[in-house]
Structure 1
Amino acid sequence: MSKPRIFTVASAIFATVLLLAGCAAAQPAAAPTTQEAGGSVIAELGLEGLDARQVVETLDALPVADRPDGLTTSITAHQVTLTDRHGHAEELALPEDIVYISVAPYLSQTHDCYFHSPTGCIGELRNTEVEVTVTSITSGETVFDESLRTLDNGFVGMWLPRDIDASISVTHEGRTATSTLSTAGDDVQTCVTTLQLM
């Protein structure tokens, strides 16, 4: 009698660990495979006609409860990769002059992340108002300054100019977190989860 209950409790604990882990550490993107008859991963998702930037924004804005089963995604400096539950992958090139950086400010709970996964990452502060400012360290120019609401996945996404080193500041209800980030090079960290609001 007790074995099923132990299994249920263990399953619940494992599921919670996976949820809190979010996108976890960076994983290598799966190699694209030939699509079966019926179309691409983009077509499967109903995203035909959108450019790569719109695909990224649409996926990031998906409510967590509506994430397609088995879909994995990864954003690097130059592309977004989508892999469906059958292992079919599709890569879309991102604009050459900007980089998508996604940030999850937090109060007490975070996870390791390097390449943002719009359909895998979950931050602590979901649907929360924040102020975000990004300033070029070299020029002192403010390149991003907006009041935003974190998406249902707990992140805010920003398209920033390529090849800059910058400072970032996030404020929420009188608490602020600051750090640095870079959009230079081919191995840009697109997922920032180290901004603890103090």
Structure 2
Amino acid sequence: MKRHLIAAGALLLALAGCSTTAPETDQASPGAPTVTTDKAAFLAEHGLEGMDGAQIIDHLDQVPLAQRSTDLMASVRADHLLLADAEREFTIPLPEDRFYLAVAPYVDHTHECYYHSLTTCRGELAGEELRIRIVDDATGETLVEEQVTTFDNGFVGFWLPQGVNGTIEAGYQGRTGRSAFSTTDEGATCLTTLQLTEA
């Protein structure tokens, strides 16, 4: 039992912050609990009952910081969502043709990130209006062009087509910035390198 608690604790620590690198595997540590028969109960306990993977992501990323669970960890991967608490871990599939990209444009402060944590990642600009344009570099097609307001965590999320290498441009109070992104299987779901500078 003690070994299981230690392993589960290690898993939570691994998911607690924004992941900065792409791990070689999503397997839990040896000895970690891998119970999968009570997924519905797990989701219900965390207020996520009846939601699919995409709905869970959209919900958790927009929960106000003061209302966020300290027990639940949620990490967005290219093709699935990894959910865990101190005792259990579950993988929730995501739409095969879509990719969730969480973007946190910044002026002064940022952090390294690879896989977006829906419960712990924080960006500098919370509740701010930005102009966003997302372009597929191969085709020149504009995938997104709109005015958005960042969530309470400083991020804004976009569901993009799979298999795109592109550029995201942002504008904010006379500042602009741009950054490359990829929605391939190896692509990062967390983009924190888009700095906004004065023209």
Alignment of 1:1-198 (within 5 A): 23=18, 25-26=20-21, 28=23, 29=26, 31=28, 33-34=34-35, 39-84=40-85, 86-184=86-184, 186-198=185-197
TM normalised by structure 1 equals: 0.82
Query: Distance between the aligned counterparts of 1:33 and 1:40, measured in 2?
Result: 15
* Secondary structure, counterpart of 1:179 in structure 2: strand
Query: Deviation per CA, 1:131-153, whole angstroms, max 9, x where unpaired?
Result: 11101111111011111100000
Query: Distance between the aligned counterparts of 1:153 and 1:97, measured in 2?
Result: 26
Query: Distance between the aligned counterparts of 1:73 and 1:92, measured in 2?
Result: 10
* Structure 1 letter corresponding to 2:35: T
Query: Deviation per CA, 1:123-177, whole angstroms, max 9, x where unpaired?
Result: 0000110111101111111011111100000000000011111111011111111
Equivalent pair of 1:134/1:142 in contact (CA under 8 Å): yes
Equivalent pair of 1:75/1:81 in contact (CA under 8 Å): yes
Equivalent pair of 2:74/2:84 in contact (CA under 8 Å): yes
* Secondary structure, counterpart of 2:92 in structure 1: strand
Query: Deviation per CA, 1:17-52, whole angstroms, max 9, x where unpaired?
Result: xxxx96252475563721687953311112111121
Query: Distance between the aligned counterparts of 1:181 and 1:23, measured in 2?
Result: 17
* Secondary structure, counterpart of 1:54 in structure 2: helix
Equivalent pair of 1:30/1:89 in contact (CA under 8 Å): no
TM normalised by structure 2 equals: 0.82
Query: Distance between the aligned counterparts of 1:164 and 1:79, measured in 2?
Result: 17
Structure 2 unmatched ranges of 5 or more: 1-15
Flag the 1:27–1:87 CA change in 2: closer, same or farther, 3 A: farther
Flag the 1:72–1:30 CA change in 2: closer, same or farther, 3 A: farther
Equivalent pair of 2:104/2:124 in contact (CA under 8 Å): yes
* Structure 1 letter corresponding to 2:63: L
**Higher alpha-carbon Rg:** 1
Query: Distance between the aligned counterparts of 1:147 and 1:39, measured in 2?
Result: 36
